[in-house]
Structure formats: C-alpha cells, structure tokens
Amino acid sequence: MKIRMILFLLVIVCLLGGCAAPAAVPPDETYEKLIVVGFSQVGAESDWRNANTRSMQQALSAENGFRLIIDDAQQKKERQITAIRNFIHQGVDYIVLAPTTEDGWDTVLAEAKAAGIPVIIIDRMIDSSLATGDTGDQHFTSWIGSDFQRQGDAAVQWLEKQFGEQPLRIIHLQGNYGSSAQVGRTTSLEKGLDRNPHWTLVARDSGDFTQAKGQELVEAYLASGLDFNVIFAENDNMAYGAIDALKNAGITPGEDVIIVSFDANRRALEMVMNGEINFDVECNPLHGPRVQAVIEQLERGETPPRFTFVDETSFDADSLTQQIIDSRGY
C-alpha cells in the first residue's frame, strides 16, 4: 500500500508542477572518434593465417582507438576487390589488404587512392607498376611482410649442407599459385635443383596451403608407388597433412622421409623437437602491431617506411630449445 501511495503522489506532483523531459543521451563520442580500418583477409586456410587475423584484431582494437572491419575473401581475388570497393563506399579511414595473388590490383587501388584512403599491404606483395612507382603514381602507402625467396634459400641451403652429394628425390607441395610465398619459395627450390644435379623433382602440385590437400596429395603419391625421400612443403599445414599420410602408410617422417617446411608455428616447432619435421623456416604472422604503428605515423602526419621486411630465422633440432617453443606467440 505504501508503494502505491508514493507512486500516486508522484503522479499528482508531475501533473501539478510539470515534469521535465528526460535528458537526451549524448552520442557515443568515443565510438565516433575511432579510426576505422577495413581489412581484406585472404581467408582462414592455415594456422598462420588465423594467427595473422588474431594479431590484427588485438592491435586494431577499440581499446587502442580503432574499429576493425574484417572481410574474409575465402581465397578469392574477386571477393577482395569487392570488399575493397565496399570499404571505399563506407568511407573507412584506412584499408589493409592481404592479397591472394600478386597481380590484378591496379584498378581497385587507383580507386582507393582517388577516394583519399591510404592502403597498407601485408604479407604478400603485389606485382604492379603502381607498387614500384614506375608510373610516377604510387597507389599504396606501405607494405609489411616477409622476404619469401630468402626463406626458400634458407631451406635449400640447409638441404645442401645436410646432404651434400647424396641423391634427393623431392616432392614439392606448393601454396596457392601466384601468391608471393609460393613464387618466392618455388624460385629458391628451382635454383637449388639447377645447381644440384643429384636432386630430382619427382612430383609437384599445389596443396593450397591446407592440411587436407597436403595429406591428399601425399596419399596419392604413395598409392602410385612414387619413390621419394624429401618433402618440401611450402607451409606447416601442408607438412602436417603430409606427415599424417606418411604415418598412415607406416613411414616414419623425419627419418624415412625428410620434411622441410615454412611458418614455424608452435605446433610445427614441437614436431621439429620430436624429429618429425627436420627443418622449419620462420614466417612471422604478427603484423597487427606493425600495421598499427604505420597508421599512427600517418595520423601524426609522418611518412612511414614504404617497405618493411620482417626479421625471421629458421629451426632444426640442433638450434631449437623448449624456451623458444614456450615463448612462441603463434
């Protein structure tokens, strides 16, 4: 009864004296001030790619002053071009592109430049007159990534050092055709084959950087009776698939067949430690803080480096420690 009486009295007071309208809720100024970044990601085909996406999400967070819009291209260049045009239409502040392949970007990058939106390329390079500025008109602001041919050279040199003049029969599991990682690592192996006549390339195909396709290819090679003693896999996930195929066939990876891989994810380094992968070349996916630094430089009116190559290393059982594995960020 007391509660009802109080409510009744409040109504009477409002009717007699008038009640002020509720104060308008001010707009969320913090949200409006966030730097909006559109990120066209290749996909989620590998552990490396997923770590790369997480790194971008962590660095370009609301807490750090950003609103990140991610579009998953599912390995399709046309989806990336559409995503970039959507970002332009939305009026984002910056565009980040992890390109599926090296070519075919001139038109859409010119559109971003015309809209006044800086473009930052990560991971893979683009093959374009606009990239080098040969036309006098540079259509992206900065590139951050790896020297993929240098990575391939490290793997080939390790094989040369370890096996000397021993005959090697090599299966080559390539990544997505036309991507910088595939082009650079393949170029290195080609040069190694040219200068080592005792090496034989017995099979080569694209495993699309996926574990499932890597396993499928090696299972097919085994079923055909192919003779090989080295698998040169252009990323860790294809190496995982190859190793599963070998184990299922009763073949010991790392002993019966030498495994060379790229990325050096934590799981792969554990396999280096236990001898299943013989050599793994690092490809660091943690580009988020690097992209954040470039954007912050641009926001201050500074000019960031046009090209940033990430420092990377490589591992075999002799150089790897548990401390390195435990400290791995991906």
Instruction: Give the model's confidence band at 127: pLDDT under 50 very low, under 70 low, under 90 confident, else very high.
Output: confident
Domain boundaries, the chain: 32-145+285-311, 148-283
d(CA 248, CA 137): 54
Name the nearest CA neighbour of 139 among 117, 158, 156, 161: 117
Instruction: Give the model's confidence band at 32: pLDDT under 50 very low, under 70 low, under 90 confident, else very high.
Output: low
d(CA 143, CA 248): 42
CATH 3.30.70.3000 is right for the domain spanning 32-145+285-311: no
Tell me how many degrees the CA angle 21-22-27 measures, rounded to the nearest 5. Answer: 130
d(CA 171, CA 59): 38
pLDDT tens, 138-182? 789 999 999 999 999 999 999 999 999 999 999 999 999 999 999
d(CA 267, CA 244): 14
pLDDT tens, 232-274? 999 999 999 999 999 999 999 999 999 999 999 999 999 999 9
| 8 has pLDDT over 80 | no
d(CA 184, CA 111): 29
The position carrying tokens 């080609």 is: 190
CATH of 148-283, one of 3.30.70.20, 3.30.565.10, 3.90.1150.10, 3.40.50.2300: 3.40.50.2300
- Which tokens go with 283? 């490809």
State which amino acid sits at residue 193. L
Position 128 scores a pLDDT of: 54
Within this chain, domains 32-145+285-311 and 148-283 share the same CATH topology: yes
Cα separation values, 34 from 30, 31, 64, Å:
7, 5, 9
Of the chain, the percentage scoring pLDDT greater than 70 comes to 87
pLDDT tens, 78-102? 999 999 999 999 999 999 999 998 8
Buried b (16+ CB within 10 A) or exposed e, 281-313: bbbbbbbbebbbbbbeebeeeeebeeebebebe
| 71 has pLDDT over 90 | yes
Q: 255 versus 136: which is more confidently predicted? A: 255
Predicted TM-score (pTM) of the model is: 0.85
* Inter-helix orientation angle 266-273/236-248, to 10°: 50
Tell me how many degrees the CA angle 240-246-248 measures, rounded to the nearest 5. Answer: 100
Strand runs (DSSP E) across 150-257, as ranges? 168-174, 199-206, 230-233
Helices (H), the chain: 2-17, 29-33, 47-59, 77-90, 106-114, 129-132, 148-163, 180-195, 211-223, 236-248, 266-273, 288-299, 322-326
